[in-house]
């Protein structure tokens, strides 16, 4: 994989790869708060990677997914620099006429076998998750690679 980050102005950068661009910035007064921060993009990468795994697996299992979102909350270790993550907590929110066992299996496989982003980052901090199916909590776990 090759990527470049190009500085714009103040603290704004554009990451470019394969004809795609993602903007990054930071909060005022240093930046303009015009884009996600690099740490936010790191958490977004976890969500995107595991989300793609789960969608692919549920399609493979012929599970009719109607709505899917992943909420993430990252906590940091206070009082140290650089500021690093203490833990990331994911909440998988899934809706549809799905088999609960298949949903849990898809998420478990993502967080123990397939999600390369979680595999890399779980070596630095815990990635924990809860699973909601049709607004009911049906399970929880953590990335184990």
Q: What tens digit of pLDDT does each residue of 62-98 get?
A: 999 999 999 999 999 999 999 999 999 999 999 999 9
pLDDT of 41: 98
Number of other residues whose CB lies within 10 A of the CB of residue 118: 27
Mean pLDDT of 42-47: 99
Nearest to 3 by CA among 25, 37, 18, 117: 18
Mean pLDDT of 8-33: 97
| Residue 23 phi, psi dihedral angles, 5° rounding | -85, 150
- Classified as helix, coil or strand, 129 is strand
Q: What percent of the chain has pLDDT over 90?
A: 100
Match 């697996």 to its residue by tokens. 57
pLDDT of 38: 98
> What 8-state DSSP symbol labels residue 24?
E
Question: pLDDT band at 134, cuts 50/70/90?
Answer: very high
Sign, CA dihedral 54-59-65-66, equals: positive
Nearest to 34 by CA among 42, 23, 49, 44: 23
Question: pLDDT band at 105, cuts 50/70/90?
Answer: very high
Q: What percent of the chain has pLDDT over 70?
A: 100
């Amino acid at each position: 994989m090759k990527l470049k980050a190009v500085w714009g102005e103040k603290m704004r950068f554009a990451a470019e790869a394969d004809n795609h661009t993602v903007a990054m910035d930071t909060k005022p007064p240093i930046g303009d708060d015009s884009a996600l921060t690099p740490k936010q993009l790191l958490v977004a990468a976890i969500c995107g990677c595991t989300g793609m795994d789960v969608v692919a697996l549920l399609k493979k299992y012929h599970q009719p997914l109607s709505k899917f979102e992943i909420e993430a909350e990252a906590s940091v270790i206070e009082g140290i620099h650089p500021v690093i993550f203490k833990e990331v907590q994911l909440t998988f929110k899934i809706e549809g006429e799905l088999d609960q066992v298949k949903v849990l299996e898809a998420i478990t496989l993502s967080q123990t076998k397939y999600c390369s982003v979680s595999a890399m980052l779980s070596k630095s901090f815990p990635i924990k998750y809860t699973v909601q199916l049709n607004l009911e909590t049906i399970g929880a776990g953590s990335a184990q690679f």
